[in-house]
């Protein structure tokens, strides 16, 4: 039991560490003024919603996706080390962007490549999702090979 508490405390502390890094960089960039305010919600392109309704739907969607994400990660048969990094990267990026949405009503994006603008939290989410997708496809390929033998 004590091992699980320590394990989850380690998860929580690493998530807080990555959130702190992202929030400090966003604060520095906000002071300099060289950033893009990403205030769009996914829902506003399809529905005409107020900010509070959009924020509510955004948070509900994130909770739902987090639930599916945790179920998917928990059932994958991969090492604890990879599960750790998947959860830490995705959760820290997601929570950091949610903090921006709640406090500032927009996300601070400052890294521009071609015509796309993003931030470190988005890189965290992409990295964790990429690792997860890699292992899912790896398991599918191994299952497909075993099925065809």
Instruction: Write out pLDDT tens, residues 46-72.
Output: 555 555 566 677 777 777 877 887 787
Confidence bin at 143 (pLDDT 50/70/90): confident
Backbone angles phi, psi at 71, to 5 degrees: -65, -45
User: Does the pLDDT at position 39 exceed 80?
Assistant: no
User: Does the pLDDT at position 133 exceed 90?
Assistant: no
CA atoms within 13 A on the CB side of 129: 12
Q: How far is the C-alpha of 98 from the C-alpha of 69, rounded, in Å?
A: 17
* Domain range for 36: 2-148
65-107 pLDDT, tens digit per residue, is 778 877 877 777 788 888 889 889 999 998 998 888 888 877 8
Give the number of domains in the chain: 1
Which residues touch 16 (CB under 8 Å, ≥6 apart)?
92
Which pLDDT score is estimated for 54? 64
Pairing of strands 111-113, 116-118: antiparallel
């Amino acid at each position: 039991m004590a091992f699980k508490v320590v394990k989850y405390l380690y998860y929580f502390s690493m998530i807080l560490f990555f959130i702190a890094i992202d929030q400090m960089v966003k604060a520095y960039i906000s002071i300099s003024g060289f950033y893009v305010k990403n205030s769009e919600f996914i829902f506003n392109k399809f529905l005409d919603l107020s900010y509070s309704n959009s924020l509510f739907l955004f948070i509900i969607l994130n909770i739902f996706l987090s639930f599916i994400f945790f179920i998917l990660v928990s059932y994958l048969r991969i090492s604890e080390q990879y599960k750790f990094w998947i959860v830490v990267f995705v959760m820290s990026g997601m929570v950091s962007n949610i903090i921006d949405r709640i406090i500032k009503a927009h996300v601070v994006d400052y890294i521009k490549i071609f015509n796309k603008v993003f931030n470190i939290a988005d890189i965290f989410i992409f990295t964790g999702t990429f690792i997860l997708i890699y292992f899912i496809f790896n398991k599918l390929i191994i299952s497909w090979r075993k099925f065809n033998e």
